[in-house]
Amino acid sequence: MAPYSVVIVDDDEKIVRLLKAYFEKEGFAVFTAYDGLAALTAVKDHAPDIVVLDLMLPELDGWEVCRRLRQESEVAILMLTARDEESDRLVGLELGADDYVAKPFSPREVVARARAILRRVGRATNKADILRFGLLEIDSLRHQVVFNGNVVELTPTEFKILELLAKKPGQVFSRLQIVDAVQGYAFEGFERTIDAHVKNLRRKIGDNPKEPRYIQTVYGIGYKFGGEYE
């Protein structure tokens, strides 16, 4: 039985065949879809560990697919996007994608990014500590966040960022440091993706962006966690 499974979604059959070959070489069980509606069906039918999702799709575009998946699933999502469309990437991240790869890409990089996301999820689920800050509870063992008694649905990347900051309240992390910690690599092109993830996190845990209690902005540097252990 394959250790991981992936749904590859792209309307370019050559890209799908290429990625399928590389993922299968790395031991993944691979399922494919060529439009947005088929992607939703494939995820429902196969419950993959990760979805490699192109943005420009027929039927439903990648943004809408991402939005619908996030309404009912925490499956990891790796977007495929045009190199010069930063706004597209940020919208995708705000909708809940975990990472992106710009086209044209190396298929090895796509597989490596997918594995990095899945490793982050695995590391989080192997930790046994529970962090409590007022109405906010972060359970690393269950990979679960509860706010005001309600379970909060976070993506793997959102969870990792929250966990990173919460483990060291008051410590300031630059955007590059956060990228490096949660993705395993850091370079300037990914800094703005952190802002998109933080925006999502604040919304999900009821953190007022104008006066955040938990994820606080340190202007010109990055972010810190403002809550206190209980």
Instruction: Tell me, yes or no, whether 136 and 64 share the same domain.
Output: no
Q: Position of tokens 């993959």?
A: 48
Element at 213 (helix H, strand E):
none
How far is the C-alpha of 209 from the C-alpha of 216, rounded, in Å? Answer: 8
Q: Give the pLDDT of residue 74.
A: 81
Number of domains in the chain: 2
Kindly report the CATH number assigned to the domain that includes residue 117: 3.40.50.2300
Q: What is the DSSP letter of 142?
A: T
Residue 85 pLDDT > 80, yes or no? no
The strand pairing partners of 80, in sequence order, are 54, 101
Q: Give the pLDDT of residue 91.
A: 79
Residue 127 pLDDT > 50, yes or no? no
Q: Give the pLDDT of residue 126.
A: 44
Q: Give the pLDDT of residue 39.
A: 96
> What single-letter amino acid sits at 205?
I
Instruction: Tell me, yes or no, whether 141 and 115 share the same domain.
Output: no
How many alpha carbons fall within 13 Å on the CB side of residue 95?
Answer: 22
b vs e for 64-95, b when ≥16 Cβ sit within 10 Å of the residue's Cβ? bbbbbbbeebbbbbbbbbeeeeeebbbbbbbb
How far is the C-alpha of 188 from the C-alpha of 175, rounded, in Å? Answer: 9
CA distance to 32, 100, 113, 144, 194, per residue, from 51 (Å): 10, 11, 12, 21, 20
Residue 42 pLDDT > 90, yes or no? yes
Instruction: Tell me, yes or no, whether 173 and 115 share the same domain.
Output: no
Residue of 99, 72, 94 whose CA lies nearest to 202: 94
Structural domain including 154 reads 130-225
pLDDT (average), residues 31-40: 95
Instruction: Tell me, yes or no, whether 115 and 136 share the same domain.
Output: no
Q: Alpha helix locations (H) across 104-146?
A: 107-125
Lowest mean pLDDT among 13-17, 31-35, 83-87, 125-129: 125-129
pLDDT (average), residues 38-61: 91
> What single-letter amino acid sits at 199?
K
Kindly report the CATH number assigned to the domain that includes residue 216: 1.10.10.10
